[in-house]
Chains A and B, each alone.
Chain A
Amino acid sequence: AQTVTQSQPEMSVQEAETVTLSCTYDTSESDYYLFWYKQPPSRQMILVIRQEAYKQQNATENRFSVNFQKAAKSFSLKISDSQLGDAAMYFCAYAPSGTYKYIFGTGTRLKVLA
């Protein structure tokens, strides 16, 4: 069965510092997509960054970047220059190619300290 594991229930980071959130997944598929979604308190979930498994280059979006290790089935999110607005639940999600049946991890709550 395909699973997504986020082993850090909660993380804290000082404003302007860098933090890395971990995600591992299990699949026998070779073609799939990985996503990080952000869910701020009482607001809708929004896409932070996505990675196509066939691409070796790690995705980046402004202050957000990923470290995608396909062989290790690891997909971590790095947030640089953390801001107060980054405080939220972060979910890692996996979807096999050809279907958008997302499988989500249990989430990591990120606290940003002023």
Chain B
Amino acid sequence: EAEVAQSPRYKITEKSQAVAFWCDPISGHATLYWYRQILGQGPELLVQFQDESVVDDSQLPKDRFSAERLKGVDSTLKIQPAELGDSAMYLCASSLALEGIGEQYFGPGTRLTVT
């Protein structure tokens, strides 16, 4: 069964360093999402792509976070510089389309620890 791939699974970085996460959605899924999940809370949407275009990045802290999906397939989320409060699980999800009953398929996540 096709799955959303994410790497790395775990990342420890020091404050002020740069960090990047990668996501490969299920083949054919046009919509890709990045979420941040702080321990004990539900996921919060950071950015949503439709193909290579950003649909919603209203919750993305743009002073330090950036996301791209250059060819409309895989995606990278970057944080520079990382802050202690960025420690969280970063989840990627994909779905077939923006419209309709768009079940989202989640990857295993990248757990980031900032020291």
Contact = CB atoms under 8 A, between A and B. Distances in A.
B4 A44 contact: yes
Contacts of B95: 100
Chain B interface secondary structure, helix, strand, loop or mixed?
loop
**Contact-residue size bin, chain B (C-beta under 8 Å from the other chain):** 20 to 34
Interface in B7-59: 31, 33, 40-45, 48, 56
Contacts of A50: 101, 103
A106 B102 contact: no
Interface residues of A, number: 24
B44 A47 contact: no
Contact of A101 (B48, B107, B109): B48
B101 A44 contact: no
A99 interface: yes
Given A106-B42, A107-B42, A100 B108 contact: no
B79 interface: no
B104 A100 contact: yes
Interface string B76-115: 0000000000000001010100110111101111000000
A107 to B, nearest CB: 6
Contact of B91 (A45, A93, A98, A106): A45
Interface of B: 3-4, 31, 33, 40-45, 48, 56, 91, 93, 95, 98-99, 101-104, 106-109
6 contacts: A33-B101, A44-B109, A47-B104, A99-B56, A99-B98, A102-B104
